[in-house]
Structure 1
Amino acid sequence: MKTPTNRSIITSPNTKAHILDNDAVAAWIFLAPALILLGLFIIYPIVYLFFLSFTAGSFTSRGTYWVGLRNYLRLALNPDFWQVIGNTLYFTIATVIPSLIIPLGLAALLNRSMALRGVLRTTYFLPSIVSLVAAGLGFRWLFQTDGPVNAFLSNFGIAPISWLGDTFWAMPVLILLSIWKQLGFNMVVFLAGLQTIPPSRYEAAELDGANAWQQFWHVTLPGLRPTLIFVIITTVIFTLRSFEQVYVMTGGGPLNSTNLLVFYIYQEAFAQFDFGYAAAAATVLLAITLVLVYLQLRTWTED
């Protein structure tokens, strides 16, 4: 029987699988640095956070010890935690909705041929590059009792309002800052999405007798579906992880009315040094974020 030559081996049916194996090895080699960094700085911290939520103690010589579900039970029975959850939901909903509607309207206006479009786009985007700490200090100055906002309202006979010291007004000020901070970024993303919609769709809708609102509802929104998914998810994540506004402007007060979940986690971990309890609260925040992102993806991507 004739021994197969090297040429017959190369052209054998297994050659394709052999090449695919080599490609797979090469792909893993190129992906390895990114996967290692992903594992070290994202996956490992999440796993360790989940483990830490079942422990108590501190990172001293005494160390931590296993307590099971005790931290989660403490969360469930703590009225302060439920107040913080309510504050976070209120803050998120009241921030996300205007942060979608206002930038979308501005993007629709700027998408038309108008003078100074580039200048206006740059002006609206500027808040996105301002540090939240600096913006928080600026808003705290604006809304202090003897600040410019009360000085302006006094011209209309309105008595000074303790914006950041009132349980009713403190949260709206934080929401206003967050909307102002997110507005420019969302507007630029919406504007990019609008420019990908073919003009022929609007021309066809106009020939069919559709008015401006019908064109927006049946042409613009369907064409912006991928953009809307991205903007909603990024805005929700931005609001859920809000910390700087609370830290700089209110410190969670007055009477815990502006205490958001991330600031609550910070207080428990680095003020009370209750790391296991803080890890449990952080795990709840992670679960809430994942559920909200999943629901948004499922809602907006289904036909």
Structure 2
Amino acid sequence: MQKKSTQSWLDNDTFAAWTFLTPALILLGLFVIWPIAYLCYLSFTAGSFTSTGTYWIGLKNYWRLILNPDFWQVLGNTVYFTVATLIPSLIIPIGLAVLLNRSIALRGFLRSAYFLPSITSLVAAGLGFRWLFQSTGPANGFLSLFGIPAISWLGDTFWAMPVLIVLSVWKQLGFNMVVFLAGLQAIPSSRYEAAELDGANGWQQFWYVTLPGLRPTVIFATITTAIFTLRSFEQVYVVTGGGPLNTTNLLVYYIYQEAFGQFDFGYAAAAATVLLAFTLILVYLQLQSWGEES
């Protein structure tokens, strides 16, 4: 006689699980999976939503991307901006977290002060930086105290991108500091006590105890910061508008220009699909590193 299954697929626990999961899965499908699928479809089409309608053109939009030098310039700008923002957005918060994890005066105030940029509107911050680095702004006023000629920060092809990088690092600094503070408090104090008994100085404790203990936290901060930089739009829109000479044009702003400036939605969708693929690959590699560590 065949033994009956002891657990039905629709037993009470399974039914309850699907009951609670269904609303979330519906929202995920409507606002994540369906838009991504439609974006991929749109990248193979051309035309307008309002007049002739869209029609299938295959891989022509991707071929246009490959042949368009502006796209490669924007892609290079995005890589440069992402790397140059990511490195200081990890190094500086680690140092601040180590410092503010100790019992020092005004520790609570300093933590709040450094976290404040994270809750500041990026548009407001961008307007502030635009005022700060204008030709007659405080930045050039400070340089004039040392006899340094005024710099056209936002009109110079060399200096415009560093202004956006400084703004993005400033915006991300507080969030990463809090993340690293949480990671530091998860490291057992016994590790530091053992290292101190072995004669390790402060730098050696940081290098051999703190950094290895923060490895999962560093991977998490790297993923979130990389996503933040790859989807950067407000900085470019408010501060530089992609100029001068397209040197600060990032991929998200380029997609915006093509979609809502040129109304070339199929081409913009192809560029957005490239950005999505690049982001997914980056996150996958980071998660693989996280999995190897765990």
Alignment TM class, shorter chain as reference: over 0.9
2:162 is aligned to 172
Over residues 7-64 of structure 1, what are the superposed CA-to-partner deviations in whole Å (9 max), with x where a residue is unaligned?
A: xxxxx96473138733212211111100000000000000000000000001013100
2:207 is aligned to 217
1:123 is aligned to 113
1:6 is aligned to none
Structure 1 segments of 4+ aligned residues over 6 angstroms from their partners: none
Shift of 1:230: 1.1
1:197 is aligned to 187
Q: Structure 1 residue 55 and structure 2 residue 40: aligned?
A: no
Distance 2:124 2:254 in 1: 22
Distance 1:128 1:168 in 2: 27
Distance 2:203 2:152 in 1: 41
Q: Which amino acid aligns with 1:145?
A: S
Structure 1 residues 125-204: aligned runs within 5 Å: 125-204=115-194
2:249 is aligned to 259
Over residues 52-87 of structure 1, what are the superposed CA-to-partner deviations in whole Å (9 max), with x where a residue is unaligned?
A: 000000101310000000000000000000000000
2:98 is aligned to 108
Over residues 246-301 of structure 1, what are the superposed CA-to-partner deviations in whole Å (9 max), with x where a residue is unaligned?
A: 00011000000000000000000000000000000000000110111111222343
Q: Which amino acid aligns with 1:115?
A: A
Distance 1:175 1:97 in 2: 11
Distance 1:185 1:206 in 2: 30
Q: Structure 1 residue 76 and structure 2 residue 66: aligned?
A: yes
Shift of 1:214: 2.0
Distance 1:195 1:175 in 2: 30
Distance 2:11 2:43 in 1: 41
Q: TM-score, normalised by structure 1?
A: 0.94
Length, aligned pairs only: 292
Over residues 182-207 of structure 1, what are the superposed CA-to-partner deviations in whole Å (9 max), with x where a residue is unaligned?
A: 00000011001101111111000111
Distance 1:16 1:257 in 2: 65
Q: TM-score, normalised by structure 2?
A: 0.96
Q: Which amino acid aligns with 1:167?
A: T
Over residues 197-237 of structure 1, what are the superposed CA-to-partner deviations in whole Å (9 max), with x where a residue is unaligned?
A: 11111000111122222211221122112211211100000
Where does structure 2 lack aligned partners over 5 or more consecutive residues? none
1:284 is aligned to 274
Distance 2:127 2:9 in 1: 60
2:12 is aligned to 22
Shift in CA distance, 201/20, structure 1 to aligned 2, threshold 3 Å? farther
Q: Which amino acid aligns with 2:209?
A: V
- 3-state SS of paired residue (2:46): strand
2:259 is aligned to 269
1:228 to 218, 221, 227: 218
Distance 1:53 1:43 in 2: 16
1:247 is aligned to 237
Q: Structure 1 residue 293 and structure 2 residue 283: aligned?
A: yes
Q: Percent identity?
A: 79
Distance 2:201 2:9 in 1: 57
Shift in CA distance, 50/19, structure 1 to aligned 2, threshold 3 Å? closer
1:65 to 44, 55, 62: 55
Cα RMSD for the two superposed structures: 1.4
- 3-state SS of paired residue (1:30): helix
Over residues 89-148 of structure 1, what are the superposed CA-to-partner deviations in whole Å (9 max), with x where a residue is unaligned?
A: 000000000000000000000111111111000000000000000000000000000001
Q: Which amino acid aligns with 1:47?
A: A
- Point out the structure with max Rg over C-alpha: 1
